[in-house]
Amino acid sequence: MAGKTINIKLKIWRQAGENKPGKFESYEVNDVSVDMSFLEMLDVLNENELKKGNDPIHFDHDCREGICGMCSLYINGKPHGPKHGITTCQLHMRTFNDGETIVVEPWRASAFPVLKDLVVDRTSFDRIMQAGGYVTVSTGGVPDANEIAIPKTVADEAMDAAQCIGCGACVAACKNASAMLFTSAKVSQLALLPQGGAERKRRALAMVEQHDAEGFGACTNTGACEAVCPKEISITHIARLNREFTRASFSGNETDYQN
């Protein structure tokens, strides 16, 4: 099986640890099968580095099929590389040319500190989720699936928002390092449905408060996020978040009234 192969050069950000200085290192990988994924190519590079006794390049990954949101990498100036609507693990080497130099950087944002090389700390997203990205359910028997009628168009819109895998590409691409696309997807997927609607006010306020506390920036409606999002989350969800937040801020809550 001698498929097509290419030789590539890489410039990769290397950083020993958090708050340590970092710099770009150059690498060459030869005879890369064009059918390899980008991460498989990095695996090959790391094998070579290990054989030479060097510290392998650290990068995040898990499912390698575009669903977990662990892989990141800012490739040639774009989160998840040059292709549209895919994650780094779904990017194939056939996208690149023989002899090309590929620049690989970590996500950069104050709220995503680099831990090592290309690995960043994205627990700020977890804390936004913990602030309100859930529904409080009294568990009981499993309800009948069609007991609550939800129009198909609404269910579709909620599903579109629920596609967000929390990868952070939106933040990486944003000139303001704003996490509004992520936060809005998480607010939307619940606010659109009757089960999530009950806690919508508290949720919108708490998640935005946490978003700000983590040090993410404010949205300037630039739209770089939706252009790079592997799940093609639309900024119409940001408009919904703005509505949810405004409504929650300026209208009363049941618990605001005193008996």
Partner 1 sequence: MSWQKSLSSTIGRKIMMSLSGILLILFLAGHVSGNMTLLMGKADAFNMYAHFMSTNPLVQVVANVFKLFFLAHIVYAIILTAQNKKARGGQAYKVTNKDGSQVSKYMGVLGSVIAVFLVVHLAQYWAVMHELRGEISTTTIDGVEMKDLYSVVAVSYANPMIVAAYVISMFVLAFHLWHGFASAFQTLGLNNKRYTPIIAFLGKAYSIIVPVLFGAIPVVMFLNS
| For ligand SF4, the closer CB: 34 or 158 | 158
**3-class SS at 152?**
helix
**Is residue 204 a contact partner of residue 248, using CB atoms and an 8 Å limit?**
yes
| For ligand SF4, the closer CB: 96 or 107 | 107
Q: With CB cut-offs between 5 and 8 Å by kind, which of ligand HEM, ligand FES, partner 1, none does residue 191 bind?
A: none
Alpha carbon distances (Å) from 82 to 102, 153, 209, 229: 11, 31, 33, 12
Q: Report if residue 5 touches partner 1, rule: CB under 8 A.
A: no
> Can you say whether the dihedral through the CA atoms of 182, 183, 184, 189 is positive or negative?
positive
Q: Report if residue 164 touches ligand SF4, rule: CB under 6 A.
A: yes
Q: Which residues contact 176 (CB under 8 A, 6 or more apart)?
A: 217, 218, 219, 220, 222
Report helix, strand and coil shares of the chain as percent, to nearest 5: 40, 15, 45
Residues that bind ligand FES (CB under 6 A): 61-64, 66-71, 87-89
**Is residue 35 a contact partner of residue 3, using CB atoms and an 8 Å limit?**
yes
- Minimum CB–partner distance for residue 174 and ligand HEM (Å): 12
Place of tokens 């290397």: 14
Q: Report if residue 215 touches partner 1, rule: CB under 8 A.
A: yes
Q: Report if residue 233 touches ligand SF4, rule: CB under 6 A.
A: yes
Residues written for the chain? 259
Phi–psi pair at 13, nearest 5 degrees:
-70, 125
- Of 9, 16, 20, 24, the residue at the interface with partner 1 (CB under 8 A) is 24
Q: Which residues, 96 to 115, sit near partner 1 by CB under 8 A?
A: 103, 105, 108-111
Q: Report if residue 220 touches ligand HEM, rule: CB under 6 A.
A: yes
Q: Report if residue 175 touches ligand HEM, rule: CB under 6 A.
A: no
The site for partner 1 (CB under 8 A) is made up of: 11, 22, 24, 74, 76-79, 103, 105, 108-111, 173, 175-178, 180, 205-206, 208-209, 211-212, 215-225, 227-228, 235-236, 238-246, 248-250
The site for ligand SF4 (CB under 6 A) is made up of: 164-170, 181-182, 185, 229-231, 233
The site for ligand HEM (CB under 6 A) is made up of: 218, 220-221
